Amino acid sequence: MGNVSGANVLLAMNHIHKNFPGVKALNDVSFTLRAGEIHSLMGENGAGKSTLIKVLTGVYLLNSGNIQLEGQEILPRSTQEAQKAGISTVYQEVNLCTNLSVAENIFIGREPMKNGFIDWKQVNKRSQELLKSLNVDIDVTKTLDNYPVAIQQMIAIARAVDVSAKILILDEPTSSLDEQETQKLFTVIRKLKNEGLGIIFVSHFLEQIYELCDRVTILRNGELVGEYEVQKIPRVELISKMIGKDLADLKDFDKMTEKSKASAEVFLQANQISSIGKISNVDLNIHKGEVVGFAGLLGSGRTETAELLFGVNRIHAGSITVKGKEKNFKEPLDTMKEKIAFCPEDRKLQGIIGDLSVRENIILAMQAKQGMFGHISMKEQEEIVDKYIKLLKIKVSDREQLIKNLSGGNQQKAIIARWLATEPELLILDEPTRGIDIGTKNEIQKMVIDFAKEKMMSIVFISSEMDEMVRTCSKLIVMRDRKKVAEIEGENITSENVMKAIAGVEG
Amino acid sequence: MEKLNKLTSHSLFLPLFALSILLFFNAVFVKDFFLIEMTDDGRLYGRLVDILNRSSSLIILSLGMTFVIATSGIDISVGSIIAISSAVCCTMLGGAGNGTAANPFIIAMGCAVLAGVLAGSWNGLLVSKFKIQPVVATLILMTAGRGIAQLLTEGQIITVYYKPFSYIGGTIPGSMLPTTIFIALAMVLLVYIVNKKTSVGLFIQSVGINPTASRFTGIKVNHVIFLVYAFSGFCAGVSGLIEGSLIRAADANNAGLNMEMDAILAVALGGTLLSGGKFNIGGSVIGAITIQTLTTTMYAFGVASDQLPVIKAIVVVILCLVQSEQFRVIWSNWKNKNKSIKNQTEHVPTVTHNLLQDKTVLEQQGGNKA
């Protein structure tokens, strides 16, 4: 690796370092792309995939290292510069203008002129030809919103390829497409590959990587794990490299605390629940006093399932029963009344109300449940808040401190306190330990087990860290590509089994 | 110094400071500004009473506006809702020359306020349910509202001769102070109690700061947004009664004209950020009084009413600058540059420099609060 010389190397990024205040986002990462290949970039959250792409496309400036395009050193300082050099990106969310015509979208900013006016005939004709070359035959004079996301995606690709055609970066292009649309897109991508483009394909869908890609470069915690030929690396190995545990190491992983045992009583049951574009046909049972883990890679549908259970989104098919009664959840308040609580994944965006005090943040869910006019008296509020600050050991200067001034771990504890105050019977924790220090992580894991054991609380626990899941959960629901693929219980919960299930390998 | 810091970081510091400066100005330059006298029939009069009387409908408007702005919205239709409300009241009372009312007074008042609530609910529906941007949603009623008022009065200016109607904007016989002051006081008290005894305020702030997290916490975000617009309409409805009573007529074209801008200004002056979040009811009330004091002061100085907007604009610019983060950065950079130049040329302390420094401290602290 590093300076790969030889056959048709298109792009070489050598020993790239990129630091952000307090974080080494990229630490000596090298990446090589050959002409006429589809190369996947893989890694869990925070691995450095997007940072690497942003360095390549000129969004971030690298701290050290060099980038060579066709043997010549380049240093893009803006996306425009990168595009001029021949590097184009198509993002997850299509960034075209839906109210302009297809042709306008393709030629925006570089319209062919004739006598000082835009030559519309030319614009439309060339757009039509360009799309035809990608096997897309549509009316280019219609506005973009007439077409489904998949077609929009292809139009974005057409534009990117036409602007500059050496390297095409596809960032999660299939995340909002269905199976058929994905196949259509793949045909286009393969065609471009055969024309000699270098394509960087970022996706969380394992199946698609194996179906489409030639090589894969794996990153973890800002460092390079390695570059592999996709067909030569078994799935389990790929996943263990992403997660950072060798199978051999994991075989006899000792368990910290004794886990909680589920009671026979079922608290919540989901039958074949689906939500369009999110998950399909998921079945699950959550018993009282059970810690259920949702395992799977990012984008596998674990967060989406949790959000459905909490009523953030509505289910389009299937049913959810709580304590044997079928429920129709329309919004979070409905599920809160059934004593379900949810700590969301994105603490900053979905969790804290930054400019409110710790007290107000903790009291908020309880107050929402009681309604606007069921005011909790200040004295009562202070008692509750003090109780949980003590119980969860939240470090605050006083309860009126603004929550945004707390550390990540303490913010997380305050959000957990918010939900404990509602005395839930089912507590859903989505990535409760992300971005917080090791000490607090362990505290939270232990707390989870204690709640389940002592209060017979049911808990759904979602985490990207495998050992955390193995240590805390008494049952694991494994998800892949928005479907439930396995359920692992009791003694069978080992990292090896879970990885195999995520990868979809038997035995 | 610490005490000064504590004082200047108090949420009411900036609005009270602005008001004090104005009052100080008046005390020095306007004769008998603070003089309050009693008429033969036991009423108080003087410039201070006058200011409070004239500012009450603005105070009421700014109460509703504070909540709307706290949810990071804005309501520019309140001026037109005032026209609707006063048109409803006057039409129902009728313009009978013999001083009788066509409908009972209490019902006419009730319907006028109800019209305000309905108009506000319409705004609330557009913003919360249909997710139309607040400025656009309320722009609809801002332009159409006066037309609706015209329809109600059939294009006439209805003059009401029914005596009790004039008591709203005037003085009830036997009372020492104008009725408007009592109405404003009652509204402020109402808001204060609701704020203290319910969680409405908490929910409004929560929605204004982070609507996504609020939804994830079980708050019915749409209900909260709907309610603040409906309440803003209610406030405008009450103000409409006052404005109508002051001229004893329904003037669809001029009632409440441009008052939405004064209300927004009052809220901003009071220290509630237009980006939403934390609000400050006390600040808005003081802000409204400040604006009226400014107007009264300008009249006392003989500034013509059509030049008044210029003065107001200057005040707004200064206020916005004081609250602007960017401005403070530029200001402190400039100050530091001056300082370093001064250090280079040895110690030659000048009076201007000290003045600048003091002013910067004030601005920074005022800004911290904001």
Domain layout of chain A by residue ranges? 9-248, 249-339+424-507, 346-423
Checking if the pLDDT of A16 tops 80, the result is yes
Residue range A445-465: mean pLDDT, rounded = 87
Residue B361 is predicted with a pLDDT of: 41
Residue B67 is predicted with a pLDDT of: 97
Contact A332 B218 (CB under 8 A): yes
All residues at 6 or more sequence positions from A146 whose CB lies less than 8 Å from its CB, including other chains: none
Q: Please check whether residue A345 is in contact with residue A463, taking contact to mean a CB–CB distance below 8 angstroms.
A: no
Contact A353 B212 (CB under 8 A): no
Q: Please check whether residue A446 is in contact with residue A363, taking contact to mean a CB–CB distance below 8 angstroms.
A: no
Residues of chain A found within 8 Å of residue B218, distances taken between Cβ atoms: 331-333, 336, 365, 368-369
HEC string of chain B equals: CHHHHHHHCCCCHHHHHHHHHHHHHHHHHCCCCCCEEECCCCCEEEHHHHHHHHHHHHHHHHHHHHHHHHCCCCCCCHHHHHHHHHHHHHHHHCCCCCCCCCCCHHHHHHHHHHHHHHHHHHHHHHHHHCCCCHHHHHHHHHHHHHHHHHHHHCCCCEECCCHHHHHHHCCCCCCCCCHHHHHHHHHHHHHHHHHHHCCHHHHHHHHHHCHHHHHHCCCCHHHHHHHHHHHHHHHHHHHHHHHHHHHCEECCCCCCCCHHHHHHHHHHHCCCCCCCCCCCHHHHHHHHHHHHHHHHHHHHCCCCCCCHHHHHHHHHHHHHHHHCHHHHHHHHHHHHHHHHHHHHCCCCCCHHHHHHHHHHHHHHHHHHHC
**What residues of B are in the A interface, CB distance below 8 Å?**
197-200, 202-203, 205-206, 209-210, 212-220, 224, 277-278
Q: Please check whether residue A502 is in contact with residue A207, taking contact to mean a CB–CB distance below 8 angstroms.
A: no
Residue range A467-473: mean pLDDT, rounded = 85
Give the minimum alpha-carbon distance from A357 to chain B in angstroms, rounded to a whole number. 11
All residues at 6 or more sequence positions from A52 whose CB lies less than 8 Å from its CB, including other chains: A13, A16, A26, A29, A31, A41, A219
Side chain identity at residue A296, one-letter code: G
Using CB atoms, pick whichever of B200, B205, B216 lies closest to residue A344: B216
State how far the Cα of A499 lies from the Cα of A244, in Å rounded to an integer: 11
Pairing state between β A291-295 and A475-480:
parallel
* pLDDT bracket for residue A3 (50, 70, 90): very low
Residue A366 is predicted with a pLDDT of: 93
Residue range B35-62: mean pLDDT, rounded = 89
Other Cβ atoms within 10 Å of B369 Cβ, number: 18
Residue B301 is predicted with a pLDDT of: 82
Which residue, among A346, A353, A420, would best test binding to B if mutated, counting the most B CBs under 10 Å from its CB? A353
- Average pLDDT value for chain A: 85
- A114 or A165: whose pLDDT is higher? A114
Contact A333 B278 (CB under 8 A): no
State how far the Cα of A283 lies from the Cα of A274, in Å rounded to an integer: 10
Contact A332 B215 (CB under 8 A): yes
Contact A376 B217 (CB under 8 A): no
- Minimum CA–CA partner of A359 in chain B: B202
Q: How far is CA B361 from CA A80, B52, B272, B317, in A?
A: 43, 32, 21, 19
* pLDDT bracket for residue A185 (50, 70, 90): confident
Checking if the pLDDT of B358 tops 50, the result is no
Using CB atoms, pick whichever of A349, A364, A368 lies closest to residue B212: A349
State how far the Cα of A480 lies from the Cα of A302, in Å rounded to an integer: 9
- Minimum CA–CA partner of A351 in chain B: B213
Could you say which DSSP state residue A357 is in?
A: B
Q: Please check whether residue A1 is in contact with residue A32, taking contact to mean a CB–CB distance below 8 angstroms.
A: yes
Contact B216 A418 (CB under 8 A): no
Residue A94 is predicted with a pLDDT of: 66
ipTM of predicted assembly, 2 dp = 0.80
Q: Residue A244: which H helix or E strand, with range?
A: none
Using CB atoms, pick whichever of B197, B214, B224 lies closest to residue A353: B214
Helix/strand/coil for A380: helix
* pLDDT bracket for residue A442 (50, 70, 90): confident
Q: Please check whether residue A96 is in contact with residue A103, taking contact to mean a CB–CB distance below 8 angstroms.
A: no
Contact A356 B198 (CB under 8 A): no
Domain made up of A9-248: CATH architecture? 3-Layer(aba) Sandwich (3.40)
| Strand extents, DSSP E, A323-474 | 325-327, 340-343, 426-430, 458-462
Using CB atoms, pick whichever of B200, B206, B224 lies closest to residue A364: B206
All residues at 6 or more sequence positions from B40 whose CB lies less than 8 Å from its CB, including other chains: none
What is the number of alpha carbons within 13 Å of residue A250 lying toward its C-beta?
Answer: 24
- Minimum CA–CA partner of B199 in chain A: A372
- Minimum CA–CA partner of B217 in chain A: A365
State how far the Cα of B113 lies from the Cα of B172, in Å rounded to an integer: 20
Contact A365 B205 (CB under 8 A): no
All residues at 6 or more sequence positions from A455 whose CB lies less than 8 Å from its CB, including other chains: none
Residues of chain B found within 8 Å of residue A336, distances taken between Cβ atoms: 218
- Minimum CA–CA partner of A349 in chain B: B213
Q: Quick one: tokens of A175? A: 């995340």
pLDDT tens digits, B226-255: 999 999 999 999 999 999 999 999 888 889
All residues at 6 or more sequence positions from B29 whose CB lies less than 8 Å from its CB, including other chains: B301
Pick one of 1.20.1050.10, 1.10.1740.10, 3.40.50.300, 1.10.357.10 as the CATH number of A249-339+424-507.
3.40.50.300
pLDDT tens digits, B120-141: 999 999 999 999 999 999 999 9
Could you say which DSSP state residue A91 is in?
A: -
Contact B218 A355 (CB under 8 A): no
Residue A176 is predicted with a pLDDT of: 66
Residue A349 is predicted with a pLDDT of: 87
B369: nearest Cα among B2, B11, B1: B11
B356: nearest Cα among B338, B329, B330: B338
Contact B216 A367 (CB under 8 A): no
Would you say how long chain A is, in residues? 507
Q: Do the domains spanning A9-248 and A249-339+424-507 agree at the CATH topology level? A: yes
Using CB atoms, pick whichever of A331, A364, A372 lies closest to residue B198: A372
- Minimum CA–CA partner of B222 in chain A: A331
Give the minimum alpha-carbon distance from B198 to chain A in angstroms, rounded to a whole number. 5
Residue B369 is predicted with a pLDDT of: 39
Q: How far is CA B17 from CA A52, A234, A506, B366, in A?
A: 52, 72, 74, 10
State how far the Cα of A404 lies from the Cα of B27, in Å rounded to an integer: 44
Q: Please check whether residue A296 is in contact with residue A502, taking contact to mean a CB–CB distance below 8 angstroms.
A: yes
Give the minimum alpha-carbon distance from B187 to chain A in angstroms, rounded to a whole number. 19
Could you say which DSSP state residue A351 is in?
A: I
- Minimum CA–CA partner of A374 in chain B: B198
Helix/strand/coil for A258: coil
pLDDT tens digits, A379-412: 999 999 999 999 988 888 889 999 988 877 889 9
Checking if the pLDDT of B354 tops 60, the result is no
Using CB atoms, pick whichever of A331, A355, A369 lies closest to residue B278: A355
Q: First and final CA of chain A: distance in angstroms? A: 34
Q: Please check whether residue A420 is in contact with residue A452, taking contact to mean a CB–CB distance below 8 angstroms.
A: no
Would you say how long chain B is, in residues? 370
* pLDDT bracket for residue B22 (50, 70, 90): confident
Residue A4 is predicted with a pLDDT of: 43
Residues of chain B found within 8 Å of residue A355, distances taken between Cβ atoms: 205, 209, 277-278
* pLDDT bracket for residue B9 (50, 70, 90): low
Side chain identity at residue B219, one-letter code: I
Contact A349 B198 (CB under 8 A): no
Q: First and final CA of chain B: distance in angstroms? A: 20
pLDDT tens digits, B56-113: 999 999 999 999 999 999 999 999 999 999 999 999 998 888 888 899 999 999 999 9
Name the pTM for this structure: 0.72
Residue A43 is predicted with a pLDDT of: 81
Residues of chain B found within 8 Å of residue A364, distances taken between Cβ atoms: 202, 206, 214, 217, 219
- Average pLDDT value for chain B: 85
* Minimum mean pLDDT range among A282-296, B192-206, B349-363: B349-363
Contact A355 B198 (CB under 8 A): no
Contact B210 A353 (CB under 8 A): yes
Contact pairs from chain A to chain B, CB under 8 Å = 77
Give the minimum alpha-carbon distance from B217 to chain A in angstroms, rounded to a whole number. 5
Residues of chain B found within 8 Å of residue A370, distances taken between Cβ atoms: 199
Which residue, among A356, A370, A427, A431, would best test binding to B if mutated, counting the most B CBs under 10 Å from its CB? A356
* Minimum mean pLDDT range among A443-447, A456-460, B123-127, B134-138: A443-447
State how far the Cα of A266 lies from the Cα of B281, in Å rounded to an integer: 49
Could you say which DSSP state residue A101 is in?
A: B
Residue A117 is predicted with a pLDDT of: 86
Residue B16 is predicted with a pLDDT of: 85
What value, to the nearest 5°, has the Cα angle with vertex B234 and ends B231 and B240? 145
> What percentage of chain A's residues is helix, strand, coil (to nearest 5)?
40, 25, 35
Side chain identity at residue A255, one-letter code: K
* pLDDT bracket for residue A310 (50, 70, 90): very high
Residue B87 is predicted with a pLDDT of: 95
Other Cβ atoms within 10 Å of B215 Cβ, number: 20
- Minimum CA–CA partner of A369 in chain B: B218
Residue A168 is predicted with a pLDDT of: 92
Q: Please check whether residue A86 is in contact with residue A92, taking contact to mean a CB–CB distance below 8 angstroms.
A: no
Q: How far is CA B144 from CA B130, B160, B253, in A?
A: 19, 24, 12
pLDDT tens digits, A212-262: 999 999 998 888 999 999 999 988 888 888 877 655 544 443 444 577 777
| Strand extents, DSSP E, A328-467 | 340-343, 426-430, 458-462
Q: Residue A285: which H helix or E strand, with range?
A: strand A279-287
Residue B260 is predicted with a pLDDT of: 93
**What residues of A are in the B interface, CB distance below 8 Å?**
312, 331-333, 336, 342, 344, 349-356, 360, 363-365, 367-370, 372-376, 418
pLDDT above 70 covers what percent of chain A? 92
Q: Quick one: tokens of B10? A: 């108090």
Residue A29 is predicted with a pLDDT of: 93
Q: How far is CA A327 from CA A88, A173, A280, A363, A429, in A?
A: 48, 35, 19, 26, 21
Side chain identity at residue B275, one-letter code: S
A223: nearest Cα among A441, A396, A491, A27: A27
Pairing state between β A325-327 and A317-322:
antiparallel
